[in-house]
């Protein structure tokens, strides 16, 4: 009962064997069938565990670890795109459109003051694009740090600890000790390791001397291939080392394992085990960092951070392309921060320096190099085209060209709404799956604890039983004492 709140404690059972009245001298003699009632002897103490429930718990733990990791990352992204309490990119786009409407009035068209107002709204919009891109990048950096500096080092620490525990348990069991508390510590570490990946644990009994058996543990990374592959992680009291490396240019992270004496891995080698990790925290992080849904080749169904980075880039590039297409090519409205007009991304999206400095303004009539009117004062058709553009369905593709994979067809604001809706639905789906896996895991945990942990009811009943047994034994001794006292002090006094 004192161990009921000890983390990882496994219930222990006293192993009893029957005593016999026969000794070594009559080991081959016939013993009568009524040779009973001689009591029992303690043969040892063992743990009460169900290996099947351990396997089920660790399988479910890996599934929950994967979806929890994905949910946490997507929730962080959701805070970036959340515009319920604070105006964001959607509001900035709407404000840019609103100022174009004001400028389109006949009395305002061509007025430098109203051009400046539109330019300010456009500048705020591009800065909002930059801010969103920066925040999404920060989420990526956070998840990369989690992988490289927290989770992978923790896995290596667990494997090292289990290796050392194996050696200590082996030495302890060689001297005949059960090492039950050490086994509890090892089981805790195995449970923790199981959340990072799908593992198989093999208990390997080894007879080191006649009658002395010690138990080693072998750990394998199990794939979900058919047939399943098992990659040794801890074998023959030696363990591998995990490494996480990130290609920051390609925005891809990789997991490697090396054995003792191997050189450190390098990016670009084919030794990564990304495709061998099918569930667990590592799988969740790799999906969040590496997968981009429709942007992947081949396509995947995982919408990681890359999807939202690239979708923002597509939206920024499309806006720049459409608005610049209505201007003189030498007087673009939007460029990269460095002034170029190609490969515009959300992080580099900016108002063109010429427009920003007031060197030129929005061309109020459609630019035609072959038929440019001499007098464009009062013209407003180009401003109306820009407004009209906000209501027209456009095709958004993965690479910004007509041959790219189509992402969406609709207006600028509808495409941004599609991005946020995708994120909201994904977060909701992960939350529901997480709840399902959590319920299943808790069910298995309850079953396991019903077998392995301390039962207060059972221990309370045992206390009452032992107390009654003690009272009966004490009463028996008192009766014997009274009988002996009568026999010794009362015998031979008749006739005195």
What is the total residue count of the chain? 496
35: confidence class by pLDDT, cuts 50, 70, 90 = low
Within-domain flag for 478: no
For residue 465, is it within any domain? no
**Alpha carbon distance 265, 428 (integer Å):** 38
> If we measure between CA atoms, which residue out of 426, 459, 416, 474 comes closest to residue 92?
416
Q: Is the pLDDT of residue 27 over 80?
A: no
**Listed residue (73, 87, 92) closest to 306, CA to CA:** 73
Residue 274 confidence (pLDDT): 92
To the nearest whole percent, how much of the chain has pLDDT over 90?
48
Mean pLDDT of the chain, nearest integer: 84
| The pLDDT value given to residue 411 | 93
Q: Domain check: are 9 and 142 in the same one? A: no
Q: Which residues contact 446 (CB under 8 A, 6 or more apart)?
A: none
Which of 31, 48, 65 delimits the end of a domain? 48
Alpha-carbon distance of 164 to 187, in angstroms, equals 13
Residues 301 and 155 in one domain: yes
The answer on pLDDT for 270 being more than 90 is no
Residue 7 and residue 131 in one domain: no
pLDDT-derived band at 23, boundaries 50, 70, 90: low
Rounded Cα distance, 74 and 138, in Å: 13
**E-only strand ranges, 126-270:** 199-209, 212-222, 230-235, 238-239, 241-247, 252-258
Beta carbons within 10 angstroms of residue 262's beta carbon = 12
Are 175 and 237 in a shared domain?
yes
* Same domain (yes/no): 77, 12: no
What are the tokens at 495? Answer: 């006739």
Who has greater pLDDT, 477 or 466? 477
Residue 71: per-residue pLDDT: 96
Q: In what order do the strands lie in the sheet with 212-222?
A: 199-209, 212-222, 230-235, 238-239
SS3 494: coil
At residue 110's C-alpha, the angle toward residues 107 and 115, to 5°, is 105
Domain of residue 16: give its range: 1-48
**What pLDDT sits at residue 472?**
85
Residues with Cβ within 8 Å of residue 139, at least 6 apart in sequence: 73, 76, 77, 80, 305
What secondary structure letter does DSSP report for 303?
B
What confidence category does residue 174 fall into, taking pLDDT thresholds of 50, 70 and 90? Answer: confident
Closest CA to 339 of 329, 327, 353: 353
- Whether residues 276 and 421 share a domain: the answer is yes
Q: How confident is the model at residue 140 (pLDDT cuts 50, 70, 90)?
A: very high
Of 62-66, 87-91, 448-452, which gets the smallest average pLDDT? Answer: 448-452
Question: Rounded to an integer, what distance in angstroms lies between the CA atom of residue 231 and that of residue 258?
Answer: 12
Taking only the tens place, the pLDDT of each residue in 295-354 is 998 888 899 999 999 999 999 999 999 999 888 888 899 999 999 989 999 999 999 999
Q: Of residues 50 and 415, which shows the higher confidence score?
A: 415
Distance CA 91, CA 89 (A): 5
Same domain as 135, residue 246: yes
Q: What is the pLDDT of residue 372?
A: 43
Task: Indicate the SS3 state at residue 98.
Answer: helix
368-382 residue pLDDT tens:
545 444 444 444 678
Are the CB atoms for 340 and 352 separated by under 8 Å? no
Q: Which of 418, 427, 424 is nearest to 311 (CA)?
A: 418
| pLDDT higher than 80, residue 144 | yes
What is the pLDDT, as a whole number, of residue 364? Answer: 66
Contact 291, 309 (CB under 8 A): no
- Long-range contacts for 274-280 (Cβ within 8 Å, ≥24 apart)? 276/221, 276/223, 276/229, 276/231, 277/197, 277/221, 278/198, 278/223, 278/224, 279/62, 279/63, 279/65, 279/66, 279/197, 279/198, 279/224, 280/62, 280/65, 280/66, 280/194, 280/195, 280/196, 280/197, 280/198
Q: Are residues 1 and 145 in the same domain?
A: no
Instruction: Report the DSSP pairing between strands 12-18 and 349-351.
Output: unpaired
Choose among 398, 326, 319, 317: nearest CA to 92.
319
Q: Are 103 and 167 found together in one domain?
A: yes
Q: What is the pLDDT of residues 399-410, one digit of tens each?
A: 888 788 899 999
Which of 330, 328, 471, 306 lies closest to 398, judged by CA? 306
Both 211 and 289 in a single domain? yes
253 occurs within a structural domain: yes
CB 444 within 8 A of CB 67: no
Q: How far is CA 8 from the centre of its chain?
A: 23
| pLDDT for position 375 | 40
Find how far residue 393's CA is from the centre of its chain: 38
Does 488 or 304 have the greater pLDDT score?
A: 304
Q: Which pair of tokens denotes residue 261?
A: 């004496």
In a domain, 330, yes or no: yes
Cis peptide bond prior to 227, omega within 30° of 0: yes
Q: Do 173 and 115 share a structural domain?
A: yes
In a domain, 492, yes or no: no
Coil, helix or strand at residue 73: helix
**Is residue 132 included in any domain, yes or no?**
yes
Task: Supply φ then ψ for residue 271, to 5 degrees.
Answer: -90, 5
Pair type for strands 241-247 and 238-239: unpaired
Q: How many domains does the chain have?
A: 2
Mean of the pLDDT values across residues 223-233? 88
Asked if residue 233 lies in contact with residue 220, where contact means CB atoms within 8 angstroms, the answer is yes
**Around Cβ 266, how many Cβ atoms within 10 Å?**
10
Closest CA to 362 of 320, 328, 393, 394: 328
Structural domain includes residue 10: yes
Computed on alpha carbons and rounded to an integer, the radius of gyration of the chain in Å comes to: 37
CA angle 177, 21, 465 (to 5 degrees): 65
Per-residue pLDDT at 262: 85
- The yes-or-no verdict on residue 46 having pLDDT over 70 is no
Query: What values do phi and psi take at 28, rounded to 5?
Result: -100, 0
Residues 220 and 336 both lie in one domain: yes
- Indicate whether 272 belongs to any domain: yes
Helix (H, G, I), strand (E, B) or coil at 221: strand
Phi, psi of 432, deg, nearest 5: -65, -40
Task: Say whether pLDDT at 456 is over 80.
Answer: no
């Amino acid at each position: 009962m004192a161990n009921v709140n000890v983390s990882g404690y496994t219930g222990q059972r006293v192993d009893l064997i029957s005593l016999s009245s026969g000794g070594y001298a009559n080991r081959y003699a016939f013993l009568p069938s009524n040779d009973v009632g001689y009591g029992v002897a303690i043969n040892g103490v063992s743990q009460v565990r169900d290996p099947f429930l351990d396997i089920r718990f660790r399988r479910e733990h890996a599934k929950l670890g994967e979806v929890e990791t994905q949910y946490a990352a997507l929730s962080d992204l959701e805070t970036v795109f959340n515009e319920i309490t604070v105006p964001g990119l959607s509001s900035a786009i709407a404000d840019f459109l609103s100022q174009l409407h004001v400028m389109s009035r006949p009395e305002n068209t061509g007025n430098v003051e109203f051009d400046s107002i539109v330019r300010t709204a456009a500048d705020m919009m591009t800065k909002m694009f930059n801010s969103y891109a920066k925040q999404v990048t920060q989420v990526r950096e956070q998840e990369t740090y989690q992988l490289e500096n927290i989770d992978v080092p923790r896995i290596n620490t667990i494997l090292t600890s289990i290796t050392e525990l194996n050696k200590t348990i082996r030495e302890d069991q060689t001297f005949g000790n059960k090492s039950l508390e050490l086994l509890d510590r090892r089981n805790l570490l195995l449970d923790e390791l199981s959340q990072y990946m799908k593992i198989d644990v093999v208990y390997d009994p080894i007879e080191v001397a006649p009658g002395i058996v010690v138990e080693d543990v072998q750990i394998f990374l199990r794939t979900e291939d058919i047939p399943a592959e098992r990659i040794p992680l801890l074998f023959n009291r030696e363990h591998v080392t995990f490494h996480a490396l990130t290609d920051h240019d390609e925005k891809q992270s990789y997991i490697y394992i090396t054995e003792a004496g191997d050189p450190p891995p390098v990016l670009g080698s084919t030794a990564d085990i990304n495709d061998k990790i099918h569930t667990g925290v590592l799988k969740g992080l790799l999906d969040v960092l590496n997968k981009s849904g429709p942007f992947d080749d081949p396509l995947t169904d995982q919408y990681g951070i890359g999807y939202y980075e690239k979708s923002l880039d597509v939206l920024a590039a499309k806006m720049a392309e459409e608005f610049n297409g209505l201007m003189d090519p030498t007087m673009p409205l939007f460029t990269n921060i460095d002034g170029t007009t190609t490969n515009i991304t959300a992080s580099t999206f900016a108002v063109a320096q010429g427009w920003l400095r007031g060197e030129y303004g929005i061309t109020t009539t459609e630019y035609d190099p072959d038929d440019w009117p001499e007098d464009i004062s009062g013209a407003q058709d180009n401003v109306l085209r820009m407004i009209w553009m906000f209501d027209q369905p456009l095709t958004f593709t993965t690479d910004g060209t007509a041959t790219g994979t189509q992402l969406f067809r609709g207006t600028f604001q509808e495409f941004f709404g599609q991005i946020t809706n995708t994120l909201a639905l994904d977060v909701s789906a992960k939350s529901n799956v997480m709840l399902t896996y959590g319920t299943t895991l808790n069910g298995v945990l309850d079953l396991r604890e019903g077998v392995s942990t301390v039962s207060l009811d059972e221990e309370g009943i045992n206390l009452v039983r032992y107390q009654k047994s003690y009272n009966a034994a004490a009463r028996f001794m008192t009766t014997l004492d009274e009988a002996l006292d009568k026999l010794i002090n009362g015998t031979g006094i008749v006739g005195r």
